[in-house]
Chain A
Amino acid sequence: MSFAHCSLMLECSKCQVINYLDPFTFWFFKGKVKCAGCDAIWAIEIDNGTRTSGPTEAKPPHDKLPGFAQTKDYKKDWRSSDKVSEAPKARPDFQGKPIPIYKNVRGKLVSGGPLKPEDLVGSRPKFILEGRPYK
């Protein structure tokens, strides 16, 4: 599979990494992008989402980083801020999956983590009913 014909998916001809040029930053774009895989600089022009010029090799510095990047076999990807645009985060430690929380931001009890059947009275968590910490 080759993505050489694509506009927003920039397949680096040097290292074959796919750089995703997200549709907000790059829909109307004239400038240089740095490949996350090999740091090569590519000059590119995109107008209304369609590539009108490039990618041609260019000299640093780049104007923008791609939104995300990974190898074609999906095995390796880049998420650090020197390689791809920063991800919006609600906290410094983004997890992307359920985080068990039993004490809230002001230190009080909250039932924010998985429970077992024996932890319940009816539909209510025992530890909340009894006002004691979960574990």
Chain B
Amino acid sequence: MAMSFEEYCRDVFDPKKVFSKPEPLKGYRFLSMTQYILGPSAANYLAELGAEVIKIELPRRGEPMRHTTPFNEPLLYPLSKWLPDKGTGLGFFGANHNEYFLSVDFHKPEGQEIVKMLAAKSDGCVENYRAGTFDRWGIGYRQLSQINPRIIYQWLGGFGGWGPGRKRASYDILGQAQGGCFSVTGWPVKIPGYEGKFPIGLPSKHTIWIMDYWGGMMGAFQILAALYWRDNVSGVGDFFEYSQVQGAQRHLSDAIALYGRHGLVQQRWGNWDALLSVHGIIKCGKSSYPGSQFPAEAEEGFCLVSAYTDADYAKLMKAVGRDDLAKKYPTHDDRVKAENQPAIYEALEAWAKDKTKEQVEEFMHKNGINAQRVMNSKEVSTSEHFLQRGNVHWIDDPTFGDVFSQGPVFMASETPPRHKWAFKPVGADNEYLLSKLCGFSKAKIKELESQDVI
């Protein structure tokens, strides 16, 4: 084998070569009758794999996620051919790649008939409307599985459709709050003996709609497992319900075990770790871009420093001139104690007070200590590492032009996922889909449009 391992990886995982390789879900079709992020992302992970995913939205204005964008500022136009002066917000960006866009009014009987025609030919569908809504409209699992017993139907939502909280709305941060994950993230209210040294904290939400996007991943995995079972074993589809709060509790399974066995209620521990020390994110007092007009990069930097083995810890503390702390906490048991961690991080931050995060990281690496600087969104976007790997990439989008996007979720040597386009305006593929899948004529499509069915 002449190639080094790294060269081999660069070759088999080359993001520029993905279109020369087959798509794993070629020929499969899914309906995405979803809004916001939780439902759409589940279907979208399948679209990355080559499935034909048809996003069905309400006519003209589409689904609500199109109408959110940070600070109201960036939008991509047109929202639809009927509303060219309105745009789609970037909130829509993350969960709609590669999809085909159909507009249908589900509330109308003619719209429901269209959904049934599509479901007859689809491998599955994803929806995240309020539980029971689709059942009432005659297009829930009970009805669609009569038409197509092979259909795999994934419902996703906040609390699920049964149980005391079944009527509660589904929002990502509500899921985070009620699920338990908020209560363990952020700085503690106080660290006794270190008042003023570290930020006072309140529980913190995760910056991303994690319950939504990651919930979608769980949904996608379950759909793939169901496809496997259907196509290789049973010949029938399945119905799934995914609830965000249950996902949160699945995340925190270890905290739940600790509560059940020992009565412990896990608390926040800031940028440090309860299990490992030294393994925390420290403040580096100097800005990496001191003159910058962009506040998000002008502020001081932060860096993860990770030295949890005895040898690494001793090396670290010697390197920063605090050998005394190496002698004081020689074993991991010593330095992981809650009452001892603050002293160590205080010392590290004092040492890092006049350094940038790059300087801190470089120093650590030179001394054989693991470190990772905290990167902002521009640094990630321009990072050679992430660009070479295609974890972020430019898409030559047929509708919107040159847009920058996150990349697909994993790499594969033979059948990699890929991004074909970012997304499309509402109803952009009406004519194509309705003629291809429903046999509707041009006249019929115009008629449906005039009746606001599509």
A115 touches B71 (CB 8 A): no
Residues of B within 8 A of A114 (CB): 77, 84-87
Count residues of A near B (Cβ-Cβ below 8 Å). Answer: 37
Indicate which residue in A27, A89, A119, A123 contacts B296 across the interface (CB closer than 8 Å): A89
Shortest distance between the CB of B107 and any CB in chain A (Å): 23
Residues B73-94 near A (CB distance < 8 A): 73-78, 80-81, 84-87
Question: Taking the complex as formed, is B236 at the interface, i.e. its CB lies under 8 A from any CB of chain A?
Answer: no
The CA-CA distance from A92 to B398 in the complex, in Å, is: 31
Interface locus among B146-154, B210-218, B420-428: B420-428
Residues of A within 8 A of B401 (CB): 104, 108-111, 125, 128
Q: Could you mark each residue 49-87 of chain B with 1 if its beta carbon is under 8 Å from any beta carbon of chain A, else 0?
A: 000000000000000000000111111111011001111
A123 touches B295 (CB 8 A): no
Residues of A within 8 A of B294 (CB): 89-92
The CA-CA distance from A106 to B404 in the complex, in Å, is: 10
Interchain Cβ contacts under 8 Å between A and B, 11 examples: A86-B295, A88-B295, A90-B73, A92-B293, A104-B401, A108-B401, A110-B400, A111-B78, A115-B85, A120-B78, A128-B400
The CA-CA distance from A62 to B77 in the complex, in Å, is: 47
Count residues of B near A (Cβ-Cβ below 8 Å). Answer: 34
- Judged by DSSP, the binding face of B is loop
Question: Taking the complex as formed, is A122 at the interface, i.e. its CB lies under 8 A from any CB of chain B?
Answer: yes
Shortest distance between the CB of A127 and any CB in chain B (Å): 8
- Judged by DSSP, the binding face of A is loop
Question: Taking the complex as formed, is B388 at the interface, i.e. its CB lies under 8 A from any CB of chain A?
Answer: no
Residues of A within 8 A of B189 (CB): 28
Question: Taking the complex as formed, is A61 at the interface, i.e. its CB lies under 8 A from any CB of chain B?
Answer: no
The CA-CA distance from A114 to B77 in the complex, in Å, is: 6
Indicate which residue in B71, B75, B84, B200 contacts A90 across the interface (CB closer than 8 Å): B71
Residues of B within 8 A of A119 (CB): 84
A86-B295, A106-B402, A110-B401 known; A101 and B74 CB under 8 Å? Answer: yes
B84 touches A97 (CB 8 A): no
Question: Taking the complex as formed, is B317 at the interface, i.e. its CB lies under 8 A from any CB of chain A?
Answer: no
B73 touches A124 (CB 8 A): no
The CA-CA distance from A24 to B404 in the complex, in Å, is: 33
Residues A83-107 near B (CB distance < 8 A): 86, 88-92, 94-99, 101, 104-106
Residues A17-52 near B (CB distance < 8 A): 24, 27-28
Additional A-B contacts beyond A111-B399, A123-B78, A123-B80 (19; CB < 8 A): A28-B200, A90-B294, A99-B73, A104-B404, A109-B401, A111-B77, A111-B78, A111-B400, A112-B76, A114-B77, A114-B86, A116-B84, A116-B85, A117-B81, A122-B428, A123-B424, A123-B425, A125-B399, A129-B398
Residues of B within 8 A of A124 (CB): 398-399, 428
Shortest distance between the CB of A100 and any CB in chain B (Å): 9
